Structure 1
Amino acid sequence: MTEPYYPDLSPIKTGLAGKCPRCGRGRLFAGYLSVAKNCSSCGLSFDFADAGDGAAWFVMLFVCFFGVGSILGIEVAYSPPFWAHLLIAIPFIILLPLVLLRPAKGILLCQQWKTKAQEGRLTPK
């Protein structure tokens, strides 16, 4: 019996869509950030999935860099009052990570599956 053929899918496309890294059809997530147990389409077990804090770290780095840069740019260009900064910066710094966290985690998990990345293990001598 032969294994079914699965095309070579892009981890970025499948991760952004939140789809299975093997078949591209089943859901990767069971909730907002909780990973499903397995793919509903091809049956791939997601036991390998361990993004750790990688997605959160990348999102924080991106949001802080562009968030602070945007706030400083607005200050230099327009010099708005303090309350205008609050109206712009607070939603930006709160909502942008919420929007980016799931796609970033999906990309990292799909890349982890594609490269067969796993924990480092000591080999016996």
Structure 2
Amino acid sequence: MTPAARPDAIALALGGRCPRCGQGRLFKGVAALAPQCASCGLDFAALNVGDGPAAFLTLILGFVIVGGALWLEFAVSPPFWVHLVLWTPLLIGAVLISLRCAKAVLVAQEVRHQAHEGRLTDDA
């Protein structure tokens, strides 16, 4: 497939589709990658993005959630249980949705740019 004909990485991320063919499912669970694409056979195990998305999302979502909680506390001063009921489900939902999208975007970029892990070889 030519680079111009490839599906957009963001559209694939939102749909959870294979970054090479755009047809197969990228995930087997909420945020776990499938072993391979059912349509084109792309091996997703070789495209593991590790903890990169989680590290970025921890910082970004932590800033947003803590900022919102501080604003609410100083503006309204609600009881503690209001913070628990409001921020806990919001944080869990935001993490699950954004982690899935962030993983899919990084996997799509790896495929698009043919990124590979560095390996030592014996050329002796």
TM interval, short-chain normalised: 0.7 to 0.9
Q: Distance in 2 between matches of 1:85 and 1:35?
A: 33
| Cα-to-partner distance string for 1:65-113 (whole Å, 9 max, x where unaligned) | 1000111111222222222222212222233212222121111111111
Query: Which residue of 81, 102, 105 maps to 1:104?
Result: 102
Using structure 2 for the length normalisation, give the TM-score.
0.82
Q: Distance in 1 between matches of 2:9 and 2:25?
A: 14
Superposition misfits of 4+ residues, deviation over 6 angstroms: none
Identity of aligned residues (%): 45
Alignment of 1:33-112 (within 5 A): 33-112=31-110
Alignment of 1:18-33 (within 5 A): 18-33=16-31
Aligned residues: 121
Using structure 1 for the length normalisation, give the TM-score.
0.81
| Cα-to-partner distance string for 1:4-37 (whole Å, 9 max, x where unaligned) | x462222121122110111111111122233223
Name the amino acid aligned to 1:76.
F
Contact 1:48 1:113 in 2 (8 A): no
SS at structure 2 position matched to 1:60: helix
Q: Distance in 1 between matches of 2:115 and 2:54?
A: 19
Q: Distance in 1 between matches of 2:102 and 2:29?
A: 15
Q: Distance in 1 between matches of 2:103 and 2:38?
A: 19
RMSD, aligned CA: 2.0
| Cα-to-partner distance string for 1:32-61 (whole Å, 9 max, x where unaligned) | 233223222223232431110012112212
Gaps of 5+ in 1: none
Q: Distance in 1 between matches of 2:32 and 2:90?
A: 24
Q: Does 1:120 align with 2:118?
A: yes
